[in-house]
Amino acid sequence: MDAVEVLHRAHKRIVLVIDADARLLGVVTDSNIRHAVLDRVDFKRPVADIMARQPVTVPGTLGADQVLAIMEQTQIYQIPVLDDAGRVTAIHFIDELLRRREKPEKRVAVVMAGGLGQRLRPLTETTPKPLLEVGGRPILFIVLDHLIASGFDQIFVTVNYLAERIRDSVASARRYRDAVEFIEESEPLGTAGALALLPARPKAPFLVANADLLMRVAVDEMMRFHNHEKNAVTVALKEERYAIPYGVAKLEGTRILKIDEKPEMAFFINAGLYVLNPAVLDLIPKGRAFHMTDVVAAASDKNLRVGCFPVHEYWQDIGFPSQLEQARQDYDSLFRAPQRKP
C-alpha cells in the first residue's frame, strides 16, 4: 500500500525499489498493481511480492531515439537508467522524449451522453443526466476535464435526449471549444451504436467513456495497458463486494456440505470505460441500436482479444438518486481542491 500511495502522489506511473546503495531491486508500475487487484493480493504484504524483479532498463549511453525504439518494442513508457554497478542514475519518460520529436497523432475519446437517464427521474425530465451537478458543476464537465488533463485532445460527445441543452452548455465553456465535437443520434443507438457515426476513423486505439461517471481512473494508463496487452477491446472492471444477509448452503444433491453464514461475495463489474482498436468499428452496424456488450461478443466471435483493465482508483457510477447523492458527498472530500491558508 505504501507503493500505491507513492505512485499516486508522484503521478509518474512507476515506483523504484532500491537498496541502501541505490541499486535497483525492482519496480512497481500501475500495471503491477492492477494485476495484483485481479489476483486479490493483500496490499498489506511486502512490495517485493508484486514488484517486477527484472524490469527493462537502459544504460546512460543510449540516445533518445534508441530509448524510444525500446519503448515502442516493449510498450513500457518509463525506463530506469542504470550505471555499471546497477545504480539508478535517471529515468526516461516517454512524454519527455516525445516533446523533442514531431507532434504525435491526436488522442481520441468518445463520451456517451445520449441516454435518457430514466432511473434518475424526475431530475432528468428537464435536465439531461450529463448536466446534473456534482460539486456545483455538470457531471459531463468533470469527465471532460479529466480526459483533457489525461492528454486527450479530440473528444466526441454523443447526444440525443435534450441534445441542445448539452450543446449549449458545452459551447458556453471556452476551454472546450477546440477539443470537443458532437455526434448527433437521430434515435437512441445504445451504448455503442453512435460509434458508427464517427466522422473519421481514429488512427490509433481510442477511449470510450460513459458520461455519468465520477472517477479518478488513470485513463492514460488504460491506453498504455491496452497496447501492452495487445487487446482489440479493453474493458475497465471495478471489484464490488456484497454481503449476503443470510446463511448460504453448499449442496451436493440434497446433502448439505456446509453453510456459510452471511458470506461476502466479490464480483468484477463493468465500469463504463473502454479502449477500442479502430478496426473494431467494422463490427458495429450503422443505423441501429448496438451496445458495448454486443461489441465484446462480436469481437470474441472474431477471435479478437478482449481484455480487462482492473480499476483500483475511486469510481462512482451515477445511475440512481442514491448514487448521485454519494457522488456529491465524495466530491467535496476527494475532488475539491483544499483551500490554502492565508
- Residue 337: the pLDDT is 53
Give the whole-angstrom CA distance, residue 79 versus residue 95: 12
- Residue 322: the pLDDT is 95
Q: Kindly report, residue by residue over 10-30, the tens digit of the pLDDT.
A: 767 889 999 998 899 999 988
Helix ranges, the chain (H) = 2-10, 30-38, 64-74, 94-98, 139-149, 163-171, 219-229, 292-301, 321-334
CB 313 within 8 A of CB 215: yes
pLDDT one digit per residue (tens) for the chain, 342 residues: 888 888 877 767 889 999 998 899 999 988 888 889 888 888 899 999 999 999 999 998 888 888 888 988 888 888 999 998 999 998 988 877 876 665 567 899 999 999 888 899 999 999 999 999 999 999 999 999 999 999 898 999 999 999 999 999 999 998 998 899 999 998 999 999 999 999 999 999 999 999 999 999 999 989 989 998 999 999 999 999 889 999 999 999 999 999 999 999 889 999 999 999 999 999 999 989 999 999 999 999 999 999 999 999 999 999 999 999 999 999 988 886 544 443
The β-bridge partners of 247 are 261
Give the whole-angstrom CA distance, residue 110 versus residue 197: 11
CA angle at 330 for the pair 329 and 333, rounded to the nearest 5°: 100
Domains of the chain: 2-98 (3.10.580.10), 108-334 (3.90.550.10)
Give the whole-angstrom CA distance, residue 108 versus residue 206: 5
Q: Which residues contact 204 (CB under 8 A, 6 or more apart)?
A: 105, 107, 108, 278
Residue reference for cell 460513459: 210
Give the whole-angstrom CA distance, residue 156 versus residue 101: 27
pTM for the model stands at 0.77
Q: Put the strands of the sheet holding 108-112 in their side by side order.
A: 180-184, 154-159, 108-112, 206-210, 264-276, 233-243, 306-311
Active centre residues (catalytic)? 262
Q: What are phi and psi of 256, to 5 degrees?
A: -90, 120
Distance separating the N- and C-terminal Cα atoms of the chain: 33
